[in-house]
Amino acid sequence: MGSTKTSALTEMGVVNSDQIIGYSLIMASVDTDVIRINYKRPSGSFLPRRRTYEFKRIGKPKRGMVAANEDLVRYEISPLLRRAVDELDVLLADRTSKKTNMDQIQREIDELRQEVDTRLAHIGKLLEGVDTSKG
């Protein structure tokens, strides 16, 4: 992949764009977006299979009349993130198929299940340590 085709990804620090197999984009808060880029790494690679990047949204004042309970600022996606998503869409357009998408969704579900199980086990241990006789 040429650097001109992936200039935004390069600016983010993405080096192996040819190994990208997918991404997910979420709005973590009103002023923050998070993109997770998934990679297919060669066997034995020490590089991570997923990298996460956070972007602050750009706050711009709203024009005109604003209701009393409405925020005076509207937040827009970072220009770098917008360019990166466009580049990722172009990169992945030739690589994706229905099966690939189904496999990716299944991997995401499995990873989420594992994260939730780990968190529930941690909370269970916290509950075991709580002394209910004092109160």
Q: What digits encode the pLDDT tens for the residues 81-123?
A: 999 999 999 888 866 666 677 888 899 999 999 999 999 999 9
What Å distances lie between residue 67 and 30, 41, 60, 64, 73, CA to CA? 18, 51, 16, 10, 12
- Residue 132 within a domain: no
How many domains does the chain divide into? 2
Do residues 20 and 78 share a domain? yes
Going by pLDDT thresholds of 50, 70 and 90, the confidence category of residue 2 is very low
Asked whether residue 49 falls in the same domain as residue 113, the answer is no
Question: Could you list the residue range(s) of the whole structural domain that residue 122 is in?
Answer: 97-127
pTM: 0.60
Residue 134 lies in a domain: no
CB burial of residue 14 (10 Å; 0-12, 13-18, 19+): buried
Residue 50's closest CA among 63, 58, 39? Answer: 39
pLDDT band at 13 (very low <50, low <70, confident <90, very high): very high
